[in-house]
């Protein structure tokens, strides 16, 4: 059986006494074992990173950018193989795996502009013979802790700006989907990145805690569930680290009566059930405004759901594949049962789906609830599966209130032809990312990604200019090169007075 190890100092390192199973979600069978590292292994990775970082930081930014350009070329060269590998561990269909890789590469492409992105400011003649300028410098050794659902995209969101800015990076990927991050490490090395600048350590909570406690790791970026994000943020901040922690979500799709319902329903179905709902930017709640709109939306949703094809991840005709593990499948089924017990109407039940020849796979059909209430725990919690809940809103204000009052504040979408209403909604909704007739409003690479409330902990978002800010610190230099005659009037007493630009 294949064994997935660590990548430290430019080579595969096998060092562990504990292991976790990596499943094939299509069959339910164990396809590999991943090593679970500890604090001793992390010490090796940090030492390697620290040695490599100084030379990498001293490399001029244009040369660093050339490595990023080459990395993009290599990933595109191997894109089909990477997508197949990703799909085999996660269960998402091949087309979705390609999207996972592409959205990560777009951030690498943005980071190729690092010579411009890290330029400082300069003021000449701020005072007599005085110039002031700023430098944006790397932090040193930084780390990223990533979830199972985007094993290419999210590691690239984190490591690309960190590496471009001159840091060394330690990645702790999910032990459920470890193989693609390991392959990315090999491609970084092939692209010309010096050994030790990018390292991968496999592990579970023991490794996470070791990262949060290590004094040489200056910053940590995290994506995962909100409870763990809050824990990671608190422990890392208490250790004096710069922290950026993205949590869970319960994104809403608001449908106004004037919306193009056919387009809105097509968008909602894709956003709710794509990747089996295992996205923090999925759209698991639809909130039509008015009973007539709700009835029409439900009718169209049922027809669209009945036309969905659930299949193995390699099936090019499948709309989505299995969920990642048997435990996660059981958790989703528990939430479906909870919704029924809370009084929501189960319009479509995805439980009990089995594919011939893949009876052990972790498959769930699409589930639709109607008449869901905001007081229900199944609405309040993040289910993270192919479950769509309809909450009927009797007015625009009631619909606006739903995502604004929810504990999560990651993303929201509004479907309407009314520009004034859309503008008002975008201005007032208490959510970090808003789509107007866009169901999954993940910002492009030169903006930034981040939610509000329990969807985000920390002051800076992922990638974009915020990513550059997160992985650098500013040093401001005030310098004077006075001519002799300009210095003649100075007295010793001047040194005891706060400097002013006279």
Catalytic residues: 280
**Cα 45 → chain centroid:** 23
3-state per-residue secondary structure call for 335-403: HHHHHHHCCCEEEECCCCCCECCECCCCCCCCEEEECCCCCCHHHHCCCCCCEEEECCECCHHHHHHHH
Angle between helices 94-111 and 79-90 (to 10 degrees): 120
Both tokens assigned to 197: 């600048």
Long-range contacts of range 233-242, CB-CB < 8 Å, 24 or more positions apart?
233/457, 233/458, 235/209, 236/212, 239/212, 239/213, 239/215, 241/212, 241/217, 242/139, 242/218, 242/470
Query: Please, how many CA atoms are within 13 Å of residue 107, restricted to the half-sphere of its CB?
Result: 30
- Non-local (6+) Cβ contacts of 28 within 8 A are 326, 360, 361, 362
Q: Rounded to whole angstroms, how far apart are CA atoms 320 and 361?
A: 13
Burial of 286 (0-12, 13-18, 19+ CB in 10 A): buried
Q: Are 370 and 287 in contact (CB under 8 A)?
A: no
Burial of 437 (0-12, 13-18, 19+ CB in 10 A): middle
Coil, strand or helix at 46: helix
Nearest C-alpha neighbor of 440 from the set 427, 452, 449:
449
Return the number of other C-beta atoms located less than 10 Å from residue 206's C-beta.
13
């Amino acid at each position: 059986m294949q064994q997935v190890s660590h990548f430290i100092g430019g080579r595969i390192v096998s060092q562990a006494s504990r292991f976790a199973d990596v499943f094939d979600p299509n069959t339910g069978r164990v396809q590999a074992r991943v090593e679970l590292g500890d604090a001793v292994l992390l010490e090796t990775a940090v030492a390697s990173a620290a040695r490599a970082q100084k030379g990498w930081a001293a490399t001029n930014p244009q040369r660093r950018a050339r490595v990023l350009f080459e990395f993009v070329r290599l990933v595109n060269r191997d894109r089909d193989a990477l997508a197949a590998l990703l799909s085999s561990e996660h269960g998402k269909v091949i087309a979705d795996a390609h999207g996972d890789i592409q959205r990560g590469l777009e951030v690498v492409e943005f980071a190729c502009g690092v010579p411009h992105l890290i330029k400082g400011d300069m003021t000449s003649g701020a005072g007599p013979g005085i110039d002031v300028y700023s430098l944006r410098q790397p932090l040193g050794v930084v780390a990223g802790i990533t979830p199972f659902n985007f094993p290419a995209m999210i590691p690239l969101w984190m490591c690309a700006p960190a590496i471009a800015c001159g840091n060394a990076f330690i990645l702790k990927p999910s032990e459920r989907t470890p193989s693609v991050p390991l392959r990315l490490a090999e491609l970084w090395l092939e692209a010309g990145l010096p050994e030790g600048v990018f390292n991968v350590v496999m592990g579970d909570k023991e490794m996470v805690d070791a990262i949060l406690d290590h004094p040489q790791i200056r910053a940590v970026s995290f994506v995962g569930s909100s409870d763990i994000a809050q824990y990671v943020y608190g422990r890392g901040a208490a250790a004096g680290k710069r922290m950026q922690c993205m949590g869970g979500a319960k994104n809403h799709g608001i449908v106004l009566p004037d919306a193009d319902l056919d387009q809105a329903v097509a968008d909602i179905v894709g956003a709710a059930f794509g990747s089996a709902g295992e996205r923090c930017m999925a759209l698991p709640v639809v909130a039509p405004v008015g009973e007539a709109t709700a009835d029409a939306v439900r009718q169209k949703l049922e027809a669209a759901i009945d036309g969905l094809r659930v299949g193995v991840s390699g099936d090019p005709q499948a709309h989505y594949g299995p969920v990642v593990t048997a435990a996660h499948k059981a958790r989703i089924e528990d939430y479906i049962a909870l919704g029924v017990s809370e009084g929501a109407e189960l319009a479509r039940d995805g439980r009990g789906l089995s594919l011939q020849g893949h009876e052990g796979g972790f498959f769930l059909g699409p589930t639709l609830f109607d008449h869901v209430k905001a007081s229900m725990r199944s609405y309040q919690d993040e289910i993270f599966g192919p479950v769509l809940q309809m909450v009927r809103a009797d007015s625009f204000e009631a619909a606006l209130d739903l995502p604004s009052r929810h504990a999560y504040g990651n993303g929201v979408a509004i479907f309407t032809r009314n520009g004034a209403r859309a503008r008002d909604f975008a201005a007032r909704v208490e959510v970090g990312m808003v789509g107007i007739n866009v169901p999954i409003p993940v910002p492009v690479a030169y903006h930034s990604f981040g939610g509000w409330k329990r969807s985000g902990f920390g002051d800076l978002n992922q990638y974009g200019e915020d990513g550059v800010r997160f992985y650098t610190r500013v040093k401001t230099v005030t310098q004077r090169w006075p001519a002799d005659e300009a210095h003649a009037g100075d007295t010793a007493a001047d040194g005891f007075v706060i400097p002013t630009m006279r």
